[in-house]
Structure 1
Amino acid sequence: MSEDFEIKNKVAESGLVNFDLSALSPKGKRIEIDLKDFLFMEMILKEKDFREKVAEIDTEIYRDTFVYVYCSVEAIIPIWAYFLITSKLTGIAKKIVYGNKKDLEIILMHEAISNYNFDALEAKRVLVKGCSEEDIPENAYIELVEKLKPIVKSLMFGEACSNVPIFKN
């Protein structure tokens, strides 16, 4: 082999910055609270019984977790019921939301993107990683483009060897 032959990493030399959106996803356990378990016959909310069951919640189970609260059965749940559950877990859980796990993930990623400092990507060519072991909500990609479009030189999606150009400024 010739001494003049040099292996070059064209991707590294391109100035392309890889951005992995999954790195923003908050780490921690996700726990559900299904209000059907607090209902009489899984159908009716009786205030006194509901309050007793909320008072009996072992809050340590929820310490430093992300909690989503919903009701899996057809029942009328007054808004104050969500107040009681949230009040019990506030200051213990990292985050409490109404909805399913997907709703929780959308809200967590929204907050992560909103709070992230993107200054290091200013005027850069950015490649948003296409494959991730984590399930990233589609809305996170939409919010990411909104944040990046005004500041980056160009945006691509995928992998360095196979990407889709999104825009150039």
Structure 2
Amino acid sequence: MSEEFEIKNKVAASGLINFDLSTLLPKGERKGIDLKDFLFMEMVLKEKDFREKVAAINLEEYKDAYIYVYNSADAIVPLWAYFLITAKLTDTAKKIVYGSAENLEMILMHEAVRDYDFSEMNGKRVLVKGCSDKSIPENAYVELVEKLSPVVKSLMFGEACSNVPILKN
């Protein structure tokens, strides 16, 4: 093929780094523990019963899982109840948080962005992928911009064919 009609990938030749935030999502099963299941009549925490139910937790069910602990009952649960559940699962689970599945994902992504080595992007043009088949918490994008702003030459959001310029240094 002659050079006159050669197809060139201008995006690849531009030195643009395409970054997909979804690649930072930790892999593993997510599981919720609802404290209402540990309460007497789903309403009252009786310490002896609660401790027995916590002791009976099958640790294999939570091995290497990401766990969120919440309370869907309209009951007041003392803070030490969360301590007991967490103490039981700490050596088994990858991560335990208080809150919803969404809270768990936000914390996992926070840690992933915080711990990622972005040094390869120093002084480079970076395009953050805009579409993903995985759900990414919006806060992860905010934290990513915060992390990249001081080091990249330019930052864009979207796709190579259609992007939004965010900043230039």
Query: Is this a same-fold pair by TM over 0.5?
Result: yes
How far residue 53 of structure 1 moved from its aligned partner, in angstroms, is 0.3
Query: Which secondary structure state, in structure 2, belongs to the residue aligned with residue 4 of structure 1?
Result: helix
For residue 25 of structure 1, what is the amino acid of its counterpart? Answer: L
Identity %: 73
1:87 maps to what in 2?
87
Moved over 3 A (4+): none
Where structure 1 has 5 or more consecutive residues not aligned to the other structure, the ranges are none
Query: Which secondary structure state, in structure 2, belongs to the residue aligned with residue 45 of structure 1?
Result: coil
Where structure 2 has 5 or more consecutive residues not aligned to the other structure, the ranges are none
Query: Does 2:68 correspond to 1:68?
Result: yes
TM-score with structure 1 setting the length: 0.98
- Equivalenced residues, count: 169
Q: Which whole-Å CA distance do the structure 2 matches of 1:8 and 1:71 have between them? A: 57
Query: Which secondary structure state, in structure 2, belongs to the residue aligned with residue 132 of structure 1?
Result: coil
1:135 maps to what in 2?
135
1:29 maps to what in 2?
29
1:78 maps to what in 2?
78
Query: Does 2:77 correspond to 1:42?
Result: no
1:52 maps to what in 2?
52
Q: Which whole-Å CA distance do the structure 1 matches of 2:146 and 2:2 have between them? A: 48
CA RMSD of aligned residues (A): 1.0
Worse-superposed segment, 7-16 or 129-138: 7-16
Deviations 1:44-90 (A, max 9, x none): 11101000000000011000000000001111010000000000000
How far residue 167 of structure 1 moved from its aligned partner, in angstroms, is 0.5
For residue 50 of structure 1, what is the amino acid of its counterpart? Answer: F
How far residue 24 of structure 1 moved from its aligned partner, in angstroms, is 0.4
Q: Which whole-Å CA distance do the structure 2 matches of 1:98 and 1:3 have between them? A: 60
How far residue 3 of structure 1 moved from its aligned partner, in angstroms, is 5.8
